[in-house]
Structure 1
């Protein structure tokens, strides 16, 4: 009968205080496993503004004057404030701290929307300028070797800028700094951790390319 007379007040082994911390790689998957369904809820919440931006971008493609221009990507700039909510919840999960998905998401968007929106416009402007420059210099490669050097410089600036963006959102929601200080620190981290950031960028590019192939395959199956 001892099975039904368990002493729940007796201390168990629990987690040893002197237990070594898990390695980041192992801890990542441990947190991912615990928060998997919460992350699905968080992404569904984030998909609301993303879907709205996709609809607006699609409507802009129906306007002949702007269909093939960067203006069609402009609606995605207005998704930037909602990245604040996505960042605060995932940051707390990474710290293994509690987070209320909806309320923390909403409060962080309300507190940081301006900084994130400005960063969204900066990102849009940089991508537009460097994208235009890379296309221009690549079309002029046959005329001078200088154009090749300038194209490589533009691509290098783009890679460093994208790497800096890995740090900007977390800094905005975590520290009381202005955007100039945040950009300075983010660029420093981007350069210091250049190889790690390059690897991360390559992984993201492969994932994006994989989704592109999946989309193309699905469209071929549906249409053809």
Structure 2
């Protein structure tokens, strides 16, 4: 009887193992998101006057935007959409946001801290980053391939992309594909459909 009981228990354990292992493996498999390429290396200063680099975001899925605090056009909408992401992933320590100013002359760490507080940015991995202007423009334009530049003829004096970049835990820019199978590269940071897609894809990266 003891041998039969032992065999029965062993069989149950074996069945559970066969069922459970694929579940565990699946959790850590790569998602179907397209790998655009490695995030450009960067080191900037955040709203708490702390040096933050791309290495500080390793182990986190995070979103990158280029903005400036006095922007009178698209930035307020972009920031509000970032607040949606903060709300969605507030309790996730492996989620983050990098909001990089393109007007570092105005956007000192002190100014960015006041802006973050006014906005309601509370996630501990949401860094508002500033640094040398030429460095930031190069980072935007040739690092992320997102447009940023000065234009005295437009409101606010600066122009920039309204797209968000999504970076995985290993420091790679990732994205989904469109209905034709082409990678979208970046996510629309202005319209709700883009934010909804971003929420779905952040969840995928958090599961990797």
TM range (shorter): under 0.3
Give the TM-score taking structure 2 as reference length.
0.24
Report 1 or 2 for greater relative contact order, CA contacts < 8 Å, sequence distance ≥ 6: 2
Give the TM-score taking structure 1 as reference length.
0.23
Please identify the structure whose Cα radius of gyration is greater: 1
Structure that is richer in helix per residue: 1
